């Protein structure tokens, strides 16, 4: 594609010398698992988020899985989240042995409907996972009020919201514990897999540290059954180079979003995302809605413009999860928008003229 939907290689080229040096530093030092880089990056990233502790993991899915296990969640428990999310959110609940309970979204914000969360709570409910989808912070005050009323932890899925701010605090600093992904195309991406749990609860952080290494207390002695999920030392070194550039990259994403918002006014059949005036949207994705989405997508592809669909099939309708999730209410909004959503090209290195080309191409689409 001439204009790809995303292009993580450009982030490498922009910082090539520093990243190459960081990789060489790790290889030369000779400590390849949980050496200094992972340790320092955990502290630097937790400080960036505004939480006391960070525990690196092998991926974002594993960060969610680890957070759930550290909160004591397993068989016989229910965890409430959305069906309109990356399958990873639901996979992590299933992996922990609990039952995912999937509720609907607000079609304007694409994020969890707090009223349905409250209505879905049962005596078995042990956590709620709000997902800051596309980089737009969820109304955390509402979710925390419901969770506190019922005495359950809030596990934030921040895989798409690095740096997003709600109510003066970053996403990841609101919940009991939060999970981040450093998948290459995320707002803060490694050049491989990686993830992190952040929390200000020391006991929870300690349990995460133990569980991610076989449940060790002292080395080689497991105090509870754990497994292995650690942030790779090379990826940690790369992420330490990239973290100081995250705010600038998010600012650039917001500039592109403003350009799309303005330019797409000429194409009223293309519904642009609601602007979040009271919070900082970091536009992991810029998602529009269009009644004739599939034809629009083909039309753009013919013009060599890449788009993606996040996500084409809601999790409750995916073959693997039939019978493995509970859907207490009809997911009307989730099912409706799945056929309308389209993620336009969005990455910090996308130029203004490329964004204008996308806008001009959409204006030419006849519906
Ligand atoms: C990417 C993503 C994950 C999973 O992260 P991985 O690092 O790919 O395992 C979880 N939740 C959401 C919302 C995501 O976008």
One domain for residues 136 and 237: yes
One domain for residues 74 and 54: yes
- Which residues have C-beta atoms less than 6 Å from ligand 1? 59-61, 85-86, 88-89, 131, 157, 159-160, 181, 183, 193, 195
Domain end among 195, 226, 244: 244
One domain for residues 231 and 82: yes
Is 112 buried (19+), middle (13-18) or exposed (0-12) by CB count in 10 A? buried
Model-wide pTM > 0.85 = yes
What does the pLDDT read at residue 367? 66
pLDDT tens readout for residues 99-150: 999 999 999 999 999 999 999 999 999 999 999 999 999 999 999 999 999 9
Domain membership of residue 1 (yes or no) is no
Query: How many domains is the chain partitioned into structurally?
Result: 2
Question: Tell me, what CATH number does 209's domain have?
Answer: 3.40.640.10
Helix boundaries (H) for 97-229: 114-120, 140-150, 202-211
One domain for residues 106 and 233: yes
- Those residues whose C-beta lies under 8 Å from the C-beta of residue 292, and which sit 6 or more positions away, are 269, 367
One domain for residues 66 and 100: yes
In Å, how far from its chain's centre is CA 5?
17
- Residues of the domain holding 122: 8-244
What does the pLDDT read at residue 276? 83
Ligand 1 center to residue 144 CA distance, Å? 22
pLDDT tens readout for residues 340-365: 999 999 999 999 999 999 999 999 99
Q: Which of 59, 60, 232 to mutate to test the pocket of ligand 1 (most atoms within 8 A of CB)?
A: 60
One domain for residues 40 and 72: yes
What does the pLDDT read at residue 366? 82
One domain for residues 220 and 279: no
Domain end among 220, 244, 268: 244
- 17 is written with which tokens? 């010398």
Domain membership of residue 154 (yes or no) is yes
CB 229 within 8 A of CB 212: yes
What does the pLDDT read at residue 333? 98
One domain for residues 287 and 238: no
What is the percent of the chain with per-residue pLDDT over 90, rounded to a whole number? 98
What does the pLDDT read at residue 354? 98
pLDDT tens readout for residues 89-111: 999 999 999 999 999 999 999 99
Q: Is it the case that residue 33 has pLDDT exceeding 70?
A: yes
Averaged pLDDT, 46-74? 98
pLDDT tens readout for residues 247-292: 999 999 999 999 999 999 999 999 999 988 899 999 999 999 999 9
One domain for residues 128 and 172: yes
Nearest-atom index, ligand 1, CA of 61: 9
Q: Is it the case that residue 331 has pLDDT exceeding 90?
A: yes
- 257 is written with which tokens? 């979003």
């Amino acid at each position: 594609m001439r204009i790809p939907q995303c292009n993580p290689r450009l982030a490498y080229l922009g910082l090539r010398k520093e990243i190459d040096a960081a990789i060489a530093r790790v290889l030369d030092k000779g400590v390849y698992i949980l050496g200094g880089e992972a340790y320092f990056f955990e502290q630097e990233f937790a400080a960036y988020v505004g939480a006391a502790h960070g525990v690196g993991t092998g991926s974002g899915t594993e960060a969610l899985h680890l957070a759930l296990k550290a909160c004591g969640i397993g068989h016989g428990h229910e965890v409430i989240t959305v069906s309109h999310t990356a399958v990873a959110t639901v996979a992590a609940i299933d992996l922990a042995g609990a039952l995912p309970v999937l509720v609907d979204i607000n079609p304007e914000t694409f994020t969890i409907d707090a009223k349905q969360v409250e209505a879905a709570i049962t005596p078995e409910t042990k956590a709620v996972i709000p997902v800051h989808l596309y980089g737009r912070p969820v109304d955390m005050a509402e979710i925390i009020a419901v969770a506190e009323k019922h005495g359950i932890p809030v596990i934030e899925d921040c895989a798409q919201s690095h740096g997003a701010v709600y109510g003066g605090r970053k996403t990841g600093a609101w919940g009991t514990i939060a999970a981040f992904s450093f998948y290459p195309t995320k707002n803060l991406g490694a050049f491989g897999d990686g993830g992190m749990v952040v929390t200000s609860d020391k006991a929870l952080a300690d349990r995460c540290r133990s569980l991610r290494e076989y449940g060790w207390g002292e080395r080689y002695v497991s105090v509870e059954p754990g497994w292995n999920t650690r942030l790779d030392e090379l990826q940690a070194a790369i992420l330490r180079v990239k973290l100081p550039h995250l705010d600038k990259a998010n600012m650039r994403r917001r500039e592109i979003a403003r350009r799309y918002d303005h330019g797409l006014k000429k194409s009223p059949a293309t519904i642009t995302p609601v602007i979040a005036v009271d919070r900082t949207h970091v536009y992991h994705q810029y998602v529009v809605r269009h009644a004739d989405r599939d034809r629009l997508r083909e039309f753009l592809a013919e013009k060599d413009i890449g788009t993606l669909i996040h996500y084409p099939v809601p999790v409750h309708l995916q073959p693997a999860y039939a019978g493995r999730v509970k859907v207490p209410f009809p997911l009307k909004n989730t099912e409706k928008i799945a056929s309308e959503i389209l993620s336009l090209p969005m990455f910090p290195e996308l130029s203004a003229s490329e964004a204008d080309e996308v806008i001009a191409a959409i204006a030419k689409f006849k519906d």
